[in-house]
Chains A and B, each alone.
Chain A
Amino acid sequence: MVFFLAKRLIQSVFVMLAVAFLAFSLFRFVGDPVSQMTGVETSVQDQERLREDLGLNDPFAYQFARFTGDMLRGDFGFSYRTRQPVAEMIASRMPATLELGVVALLISLLVGIPAGVYTALRPRGFATQAILMITLVGVSIPTFVIGIMLIFFFGVQLGWLPTFGRGGTVNLGGWETSFLTVDGWRALILPALTLGVYQLTLTMRLVRAEMMEVMQSDYIRFATARGVPMGRLYFRHALANTMVPVITIIGLQFGGVIAFSIVTESVFQWPGMGLLFLESIRFVDIPVMGVYLVVIAFFFVLVNLIVDLLYVLIDPRLRISDVS
Chain B
Amino acid sequence: MRHYIRKSFVLGGALSLAAISVQAESFNWASTTDPQTMDPHAVNSTPVLSFLNNIYEGLVRRGQDMSIEPSLATSWEPLEGENGWRFHLREGVTFQDGAAFTSADVMFSYERASNEAADVRSWFSPVTDVRVIDDFTIDFVTNSPNPLFPSSIANFMILDFDWATANNAALPATDSENFATLNVNGTGPFTVASRDPGVKTVLTPNATWWDTPTHNVTEATFTPIGNAATGLAALLSGDIDFIEPIPLQDVAQVESRDGFRVIEGEETRVIMFGFGHEHDTLLYSNDVADVNPFQDPRVRLAAAHAIDIASIDRVLFRGKIEAASQLVPAGISGFSEAHQDRPAYDPDRAKELLAEAGYPDGFSFGLKCTNDRYINDEALCRAAASMFAAVGLDAQLSTGPVRDYWDQLRADDFDMYLLGWSPGTFDMEHPVRFLLHTQDDDARLGSWNFGNYSNARVDELLPLFQQELDPAARQGMIDELVAITQDEVAYIPLYTQPLIWAVKDNIDVTQRADNFFMLRWVTVN
Contact = CB atoms under 8 A, between A and B. Distances in A.
B122 A275 contact: no
B223 interface: yes
Given A151-B233, A164-B239, A83 B403 contact: no
B131 interface: no
A57 interface: no
A323 interface: no
B229 A85 contact: no
Interface in A268-291: 268-269, 271, 275-276, 278-279, 281-284
A269 B227 contact: yes
Contacts of B308: none
Interface in B35-76: 36-37, 42-45
Interface in A255-313: 266-269, 271, 275-276, 278-279, 281-284
A164 B403 contact: no
B44 A284 contact: no
A267 B227 contact: yes
B175 interface: yes
Interface string A1-33: 000000000000000000000000000011110
Contacts of A110: none
A274 B249 CA distance: 27
A275 B43 contact: no
A45 interface: yes
Contacts of A163: 230, 233-234, 237, 239
Contacts of A92: 196
A250 to B, nearest CB: 29
Interface string A29-49: 111100111111111111001
A228 to B, nearest CB: 52
A56 B227 CA distance: 30
Interface string B17-37: 000000000000000001011
Given A31-B403, A44-B441, A44-B447, A38 B119 contact: yes
B259 to A, nearest CB: 12
Contacts, number: 147
- The SS class assigned to the B binding surface is loop
A278 B44 CA distance: 22
A50 B44 contact: no
B237 A269 contact: no
B181 A84 contact: yes
A175 interface: no
Contacts of B181: 82-84
A266 B403 contact: no
A282 B37 CA distance: 16
A54 interface: yes
Contacts of A267: 227, 229-230
Interface residues of A, number: 51
A282 B42 CA distance: 19
Interface in B186-231: 196-200, 223-227, 229-230
A283 B44 contact: no
Contacts of B197: 82, 84, 89
A50 B234 contact: no
A46 B116 contact: yes
B448 interface: yes
A106 interface: no
Interface string A214-240: 000000000000000000000000000
Interface of A: 29-32, 35-46, 49-50, 53-54, 78, 81-85, 89, 92, 148, 151-152, 155-156, 159, 162-165, 266-269, 271, 275-276, 278-279, 281-284
22 contacts: A30-B403, A32-B406, A39-B44, A41-B122, A43-B122, A46-B121, A53-B174, A54-B175, A78-B175, A82-B197, A82-B198, A92-B196, A152-B233, A159-B237, A159-B238, A163-B233, A269-B227, A269-B230, A271-B199, A282-B403, A283-B36, A284-B403
| A-B complex: 3 closest residue pairs judged by Cβ atoms | A39-B44, A31-B403, A31-B404
Given A40-B44, A89-B197, 7 more contacts: A83-B36, A83-B175, A85-B177, A155-B237, A271-B196, A283-B403, A284-B403
Interface of B: 34, 36-37, 42-45, 116, 119-123, 173-178, 181-182, 196-200, 223-227, 229-230, 233-234, 236-239, 401, 403-404, 406-407, 424, 434, 441, 444, 447-448
